[in-house]
Amino acid sequence: MRGDSINIEAHHRRVGGNIATFMEGILCEGEGRFCITIAGESGSGKSETAIALATALAEDGVKSVIFHQDDYFVHPPKTNDKTRRADINWVGPQEVHLDMMDDHIRAFLDGADSIDKPLVDYESDTIHSVTMNMGDARIAIAEGTYTSLLKTASYRLFIDRSHLQTRAHREQRNRGVSELDEFTEQVLEIEHKIISTHKTIADIIIEEDYSVTKAML
């Protein structure tokens, strides 16, 4: 999303390096492309982890592309906030074009060199179309709250930190379209009930202390 503020810290780089080491083993087992999803609650560090992973992979000579779920919302952020406030039942996976995200990642997995994808502009509250060049990238990194639900995921990563634990980070990043008010907390609680169940389908878990644990592998 254009206009977003992302700060990569030491623990993100450490986690990114650990996951890259794991992915190197997968890459050596076969040819072709892979998709790894990074899911978790608001403020848990999904975007930071995705960028840190892409950087660590690049340092090892493995190219990747990042798909940000924020670009696949049905409505741009300010409009989405208004829609939620008009009907809180709008909160959930239905807010996101997960089917479109799946289609774009499937195109990547099938060897496409480029795709036209949405790009959200936060300030203007609009959604544009941009061309993503994928070239010789071998890994697609899809990050976002509901990316564990993507059918194209080869490996699912879950950041095990709740919205209560990430409040300070959210306030610093100001991820909402308004201040963190009572309504926003209600939204985060609904997301928590949905997203916390996704831990059970994860292949890799980033614990609260940023250690990395293999789950169902």
Q: 136: domain CATH number?
A: 3.40.50.300
Q: Partners of 205 in the beta sheet?
A: 158, 213
Quick check: is 209 in a domain?
Answer: no
* H or E element, residue 201: none
Contact predicate 161/40, CB 8 Å: yes
Per-residue model confidence (pLDDT) at position 23: 76
Tell me how crowded residue 98 is: count the other CB atoms within 10 A of its CB: 19
Q: Give the total number of structural domains in the chain.
A: 1
**pTM score of the predicted model:** 0.88
Taking only Cα atoms into account, the Rg of the chain, rounded to an integer number of angstroms, comes to 17
Please list the pLDDT of the chain residue by residue as tens digits (217 residues). Answer: 554 556 767 878 888 888 888 777 777 666 789 999 999 998 888 999 999 999 999 998 999 999 999 999 999 999 999 999 999 999 999 999 999 999 999 999 999 999 999 999 989 999 999 999 999 999 999 999 999 999 999 999 999 987 776 666 556 555 444 456 889 889 999 999 999 999 999 999 988 887 888 764 4
Per-residue model confidence (pLDDT) at position 127: 96
Q: Is 217 exposed, middle or buried (0-12, 13-18, 19+ CB in 10 A)?
A: exposed
Quick check: is 40 in a domain?
Answer: yes
Quick check: is 3 in a domain?
Answer: no
Tokens of 201: 């389908």
Per-residue model confidence (pLDDT) at position 133: 97
Per-residue model confidence (pLDDT) at position 178: 47
Tokens of 133: 């060049």
Quick check: is 214 in a domain?
Answer: no
Contact predicate 177/77, CB 8 Å: yes
Per-residue model confidence (pLDDT) at position 53: 93
Quick check: is 1 in a domain?
Answer: no
The domain containing residue 23 runs over which residues?
10-200
* β-strands 204-206, 212-214 pairing: antiparallel
